[in-house]
Amino acid sequence: MRPNVDISWSIHGRVKDFADDNDVSLTEAYEQLLDAGLVSLEHRE
């Protein structure tokens, strides 16, 4: 089940730009960015 979260339009716009720049779907862009962010958080010192 996917969570229902509110995402600001400015962040959504940045994700959409990322998707366009990398020729991926919006869903794939969100998945890639969320995964990268979680990995980054796990490796913080």
In a domain, 45, yes or no: no
Do 18 and 33 touch, CB atoms closer than 8 A? Answer: yes
Whether 32 is in a domain gets the answer: yes
Q: pLDDT tens, 1-17?
A: 677 889 999 999 999 99
Give the pLDDT confidence score for residue 1 in this predicted structure: 62
pLDDT value at 31 more than 70: yes
Instruction: Let me know if residue 1 belongs to a domain.
Output: no
- One-letter amino acid for residue 25 of the chain: S
Quote the domain boundaries for residue 36. Answer: 9-18+25-40
Copy the structure tokens of residue 36.
């990268």
Residue 29 forms part of a structural domain: yes
Q: What is the maximum span of the chain, computed from C-alpha positions, in angstroms?
A: 33
For the chain, the domain total comes to: 1
pTM of the full predicted structure? 0.81
